[in-house]
Amino acid sequence: MLAPERRTRADIISAVAIATLVVVAALVVWARGDATGTESVTAATPASAPPTADKLPTSLRELWHAPDSAAHRAMTAAGAVITGEGGTVTGRDARTGTELWRYRRDMPLCGLESQFGTVVAVYKDQRGCSQATMLAGESGDRRTARSSYMDPAVQLSVDGTYLLAQGENRLEMWRSDLVRTLEYGYVDAPVNAKTQPRKDCTLLSAGSSPSRLAVLEKCPEDTTNRLSVLNPAPKENTVPEEYGSRVLNGVGADSPLARVIAVSESRVAVYLPGADTTAPRLAVYDSTGNPVVEHQLSAPLAENTDTVRIGGAYLVFTGNSLIALHATTFDPVWTAAGALGTPALMAGKLLLPVADGLVALDPANGAEVQRIPMQRTGFDGSAISLAVAGSIVLEHRGRELYALGS
């Protein structure tokens, strides 16, 4: 019979050492984990969407304002007004600005977007703007998250189906659950790099619709900018599927100021700057990137130009006016002068920011219906983005969000 085993002093020392290593490893993981530097305060009572306004206000005044440097537009989600500052995303009451919920991480925000009643907050870490978190708009509850290599700065936009995160060297498309449907441009996995149609290109601008992604890029082998039209959700998210790609021709085709203005299911609109004797143009391409028509513009677009889709029109803020593009053809339909930014829909009319307040326009023809006087405090001339929450009008100006009411 074998003698019973006995614990030796060496066994005890080894066991203690292993246990110590396990504890230290657990502490390191905890200290470096995402949850360690995160604060989440959810709403005691979830927000609810306010009733839709059935009439326009006759006058407006500023009710409250809050820092909002992380967002590029006025934003609501499921009844809450959303602001982002530093590393904190806050859901607020539309009328009072009172905090309903907040979500904070110990890293800076790269940007915010909102779609389907949720908020997507993108944070910057050592891999770029790589940490994305989705929050419920009504409560601030964390829904899901993703992480991947991204550029140090990204532009976020939504199209009603996908979210586009575009950097200078790389872009990704995300589904409503933050699952990636496409990566394009630089990739950090060597095996995936071979699946990209081109490499070492600079992504100048991009825009998307539920069925088309348009990318304007400058590639080393091309003499001018290239327009590529892709599937936003190919079979393999690491293998881009191109519907067409072409090097652009004409004045402004090589300009770094060229940009994608609007993307629909069948059309892509690209801004091409002019030259000394050539006016700037809005070039329209079909769903495979073939040229369709060019529209001459009376003046260059400003750097802060932006496009929103409301109803059956794409509305382009040029820097000093608003151009409505037909939803199918992208032909200009009407123009409104004196614009300070992009509009929002309220009581069936377009509200447009102008110097002395807001002007209400008929969406069909751009005709002025009503003037709503208002004084803006601390306005620095930056582009204004409007949103509406019931009877409250929201203005995003520079690095602040202002709520306006009667």
Three-state DSSP class for residue 203: strand
3-class SS of residue 243: strand
DSSP string, 249-283: -STTTT-TT-EEEEE-SSEEEEEE---SSS--EEE
Reading the block at residue 274, the tokens are 């002019």
Is residue 327 included in any domain, yes or no? Answer: yes
Per-residue pLDDT reduced to its tens digit, 251-269: 999 999 999 999 999 999 9
C-alpha to C-alpha distances, 404 to 61, 137, 308, 354, 393, nearest whole angstrom:
5, 21, 21, 14, 5
- Residue 256 forms part of a structural domain: yes
- Burial annotation 285-324 (CB, 10 A radius, 16+ → b, else e): bebebeeeeeeebeebbeeebbbbbeeebbbbbbbeebbb
* Domain harbouring 319, CATH code: 2.130.10.10
Handedness of CA 109, 163, 188, 260 (dihedral sign): negative
- In the sheet that holds 118-125, the strands lie side by side as 109-115, 118-125, 128-136, 142-147
Average pLDDT over the chain reads: 92
User: Tokens standing for 135?
Assistant: 């929050």
- pLDDT at residue 314 greater than cutoff 60: yes
Confidence of residue 31 (pLDDT cuts 50, 70, 90): very low
Please indicate, yes or no, if residue 75 is contained in any of the structural domains.
Answer: yes
- Domain count across the chain: 1
197-214 pLDDT, tens digit each: 998 999 999 999 999 999
Comparing C-alpha atoms, which of 211, 200, 202 is closest to residue 173? 211
Task: State percent of the chain over pLDDT 70.
Answer: 90
Phi and psi of 402, rounded to 5°? -115, 135
CA 256 to CA 212: how far, in whole Å? 22
Q: How far apart are CA 47 and CA 44, in angstroms?
A: 9
The pTM of this model reads 0.89
Please, which pLDDT band fits residue 378 given cuts at 50, 70 and 90?
confident
**152 φ, ψ (degrees, to nearest 5):** -65, -20
Residue 38: inside a domain? no
Q: What is the mean pLDDT of residues 9-32?
A: 54
Q: Is residue 90 part of a domain?
A: yes
Asked if residue 319 is part of any domain, the answer here is yes
In a domain, 85, yes or no: yes
Residue 27 lies in a domain: no
pLDDT given for residue 189 in this prediction? 74
Residue 281 is predicted with a pLDDT of 96
pLDDT for the residue 14:
62
At residue 336, the 3 state secondary structure works out as strand
Over 60: is that where the pLDDT of 367 sits?
yes
In degrees, rounded to 5, the angle at the alpha carbon of residue 179 between the alpha carbons of residues 171 and 231 is 55
Tell me which residue range forms the domain holding 280: 43-405
Token pair 């859901």 is at which residue?
Answer: 91
| Amino acid present at 98 | T
Model confidence over 53-111: pLDDT tens digits?
999 999 999 999 999 999 999 999 999 999 999 999 999 999 999 999 999 999 999 99
Tokens 């790609």 sit on residue? 245
